[in-house]
Amino acid sequence: MFIEPGNTITYSLCAPDALVQGLSFADSYAYLDDWVLGALADMGVKAWYQPLNDIATDAGKIAGAAQKRIVSGEGAVLHHVTMAYDIDAEKMLDVLRIGKEKLSDKGTKSAKKRVDPLRRQTGLPREAVIERMVGTFRERYGLTVGAVTPEEMARAEELAATKFASEEWTARVP
């Protein structure tokens, strides 16, 4: 997914790996994205999970997900989703290198036509879409208000400076 400040909605779920234990990666994507389909339906968007990691509609792709399972220690799953709220399709094509294989896998001839943003589909401001998504999650699972501790912020800043800002990290190709 192409990420552009103010034009995307991103979220991450971090949960004990017991939540997805026994599920294949494909099944865990669908499971962890199910609440989003409900939120979108409440906004009038008929969306579905499209294997392996997309949320789509008849008009095009809305979101793409990535997932990391950590098996050491207590075990966890990190599920991250980027949703297109609004998009500059020309800029996206300038930035991304999308191969013919990726498009043909999706039955699409043009990456520009493949993404259909939520702004067009809902007519809602970005903040309203986010509020509705949070509301759906709260209704289904409950939420606890929390805050980043000073220790957590210090650790994040240390990692940003010592690991994530390094050339080795930013130029890394997995």
90 and 83 in contact (C-beta within 8 Å)? no
Parts of the chain with a pLDDT under 70: 1, 96-113, 174
Q: Where are the domains of the chain?
A: 8-144
Instruction: Note the pLDDT tens digit of each residue in 12-28.
Output: 999 999 999 999 988 99
Domain 8-144 CATH (choose: 3.30.413.10, 1.50.10.100, 3.30.420.40, 3.30.930.10): 3.30.930.10
48 and 36 in contact (C-beta within 8 Å)? no
3-state secondary structure at position 107? coil
Residue 142, by phi and psi: left (phi above 0), alpha (psi -120 to 50) or beta?
left
Give pTM, 2 decimals: 0.77
**pLDDT, mean over the chain:** 86
In the chain, which residue ranges form alpha helices assigned H by DSSP? 25-42, 89-95, 100-105, 111-114, 118-122, 126-141, 150-159, 167-170
Question: In this predicted structure, what is the pLDDT of residue 142?
Answer: 93
Question: In this predicted structure, what is the pLDDT of residue 73?
Answer: 76
